[in-house]
Amino acid sequence: MMKPVIAIVGRANAGKSTLFNRMIRMRAGHTKSAAITESIPGVTRDRNYGDSEWDGREFIVVDTGGFYAEDVPLEDREIVRQVKEQALFAVEEADIIIHLLDGKEDINPSDIELANILRASGKKILWVANKIDTLAKENKALEFYRIGADEIIPVSAMSGYGFDEFMDKIISSLSFESHPAQSAPPAEIAKIAVTGRPNVGKSTLINSLLDKKRLIVSPVPGTTRDSVDSICSYYGKKYLFIDTAGIRKRGKIYSIELFSVVRAVKSIEKADVAIIVIDASEGVVEQDKRVAGIVEEYGKGAIFLLNKWDLIKEPEKEYKRITGILNNAMWFMNYAPCITVSGLEKKRITKIFPVIDEIITERKKRIPTPELNKLLSRILASKPFPSYRGRELKFFYITQTGIEPPAFTIFVNYPDGVKAHHIRHIEKKIREAYSFKGTPIRIHVKSR
């Protein structure tokens, strides 16, 4: 079942980012892990979407202000344009819209403009007055009833005043049964997200796959509002393709980057494997890296698909060049295989199916604990780890603790002594021994 999406909208300086950060910290507090991770420049920095959890319920939060420079003075006309764009995004994508109002200021025309657009959508809206941090200041929130709201929720995103009640209101307003289980595909069907930046050929690729005579297609209602996912049968085996191609049709209306990221998150979250489509004629760009980072962050299997290969004049020479660039740019996903195709000319597109099968098998692979500990002994013997604060760093044992993606836990005497580059070395050795092709692996470090 897809997680519901909550969009925070409001004019500049209402406190959208502060509220967003407080909401996603709730999720972080529940799932804090000893896994050693590194920030990936251009991928994990400055995110404006994130998972949140409250009372055991999970949902995705989107800060629609994240792509706007809120500290830059703008003319009123520009402010109206921005709030309209936020509203259009929220109406399109969100299950609940939070209209955040600045409780330190009076209601103004842009607040009313935004409220009218949101109200006409028919979506569930929560009107929230921010910067209300004491009971005495709650009277200020009463002024916002002029906007036409049934209820104004007072909160301080900065101090946390009223936050618990605000989150309870979100949970009571969400329908977690909006995508009932009977509409979902059977668990044994591989779910494939076709993702990538706009205009790389995702739509053409999907259409080419569906046009193949060997592919038997039946429509399944999609969970994204303007797409239909398709179940394809290739030599008797079924695959669900999650079509996110609709992103590129919105570029002239909405913030294209915001749409790309949120649509990618929504499709990747429910997939087993993500096909990251890259325009071979343009090479690897920063937004390709951002999409790949989302796939890695959600722990999904991955395939890099170099599309539009028919436009390449010297294929052999160009393949060496572009894969070299790909390996450098996507250093955090060097485990992902790379395939060249032409969606337009329908060349080599069915090569993806055996690779998908292989990755799904790798994601479910389990390694016996005795084998892992023999490998760990060999790793430590070949490259002893440095001491930690003058004390010997002891590795007691390693065991596999999960699949999809494969996860391992190493028990040591001083977890803080195991650094990110140590984990990368251990991961490299695990992959040399057991492959885990096409899937990320997670390595956690704990004290015994």
Q: State which of 324, 340, 363 marks the end of a domain.
A: 363
Q: State which of 304, 332, 363 marks the end of a domain.
A: 363
pLDDT of the residue at 114: 82
Its domain, for residue 393, covers: 369-447
Q: What percent of the chain has pLDDT over 90?
A: 35
Q: State which of 363, 394, 418 marks the end of a domain.
A: 363
Structural domain includes residue 139: yes
pLDDT at 36 over 60: no
Q: Which two tokens stand for residue 421?
A: 């580059």
Q: Are strands 228-234 and 215-221 parallel, antiparallel or unpaired?
A: antiparallel
324-342 mean pLDDT: 92
Q: Is the peptide bond before 405 cis (omega within 30 degrees of 0)?
A: yes
For residue 320, what is the DSSP state?
H
Tens-digit pLDDT profile for residues 267-322: 788 899 999 998 888 888 888 888 888 899 899 999 999 988 888 888 888 899 99
Residues 6+ apart with CB under 8 A from 81: none
Higher pLDDT pick, 138 / 366? 366
316 and 380 in a single domain? The answer is: no
pLDDT at 403 over 50: yes
Q: Domain holding 88: CATH number?
A: 3.40.50.300
pLDDT at 363 over 50: yes
Structural domain includes residue 309: yes
374 and 359 in a single domain? The answer is: no
* Count: domains in the chain: 3
Structural domain includes residue 308: yes
Residues 6+ apart with CB under 8 A from 322: 280, 283, 284, 306
pLDDT of the residue at 39: 43
Higher pLDDT pick, 43 / 63? 63
126 and 201 in a single domain? The answer is: no
Mean pLDDT of the chain: 79
What are 402's strand-pairing partners?
Answer: 407
pLDDT at 201 over 60: yes
351 and 376 in a single domain? The answer is: no
134-139 mean pLDDT: 84
Structural domain includes residue 225: yes
354 and 388 in a single domain? The answer is: no
Strand locations in 361-438 (E): 395-402, 407-412
357 and 418 in a single domain? The answer is: no
pLDDT of the residue at 286: 84
Q: Domain holding 374: CATH number?
A: 3.30.300.20
Structural domain includes residue 60: yes
- pTM for the whole structure: 0.68
pLDDT at 345 over 50: yes
pLDDT of the residue at 149: 86
Tens-digit pLDDT profile for residues 220-278: 433 233 344 677 778 878 888 875 543 333 344 345 455 556 767 777 888 999 999 98
359 and 377 in a single domain? The answer is: no
Rg (CA), the chain: 24
Structural domain includes residue 183: no
Distances (CA, A) of 220 to 107, 175, 368: 45, 21, 39
349-376 mean pLDDT: 95
Structural domain includes residue 310: yes
Torsion of CA 197, 338, 294, 179, to 10 degrees: 80
pLDDT of the residue at 123: 86
228 and 329 in a single domain? The answer is: yes
Hey, how many other C-beta atoms are within 10 angstroms of the C-beta on 14?
26
49 and 113 in a single domain? The answer is: yes
Q: Which two tokens stand for residue 166?
A: 């605000």
Structural domain includes residue 326: yes
313 and 204 in a single domain? The answer is: yes
For 333-358, b/e burial (b = at least 16 CB within 10 A) is bebbebbbbbbbebeebbebbebbeb
CA distance 202 to 414: 47
CB 412, CB 439: distance < 8 Å: no
Hey, how many other C-beta atoms are within 10 angstroms of the C-beta on 369?
12
The count of C-alpha atoms lying within 13 angstroms of the C-alpha of 336, restricted to the half-sphere facing its C-beta, is 29
421 and 359 in a single domain? The answer is: no
343 and 374 in a single domain? The answer is: no
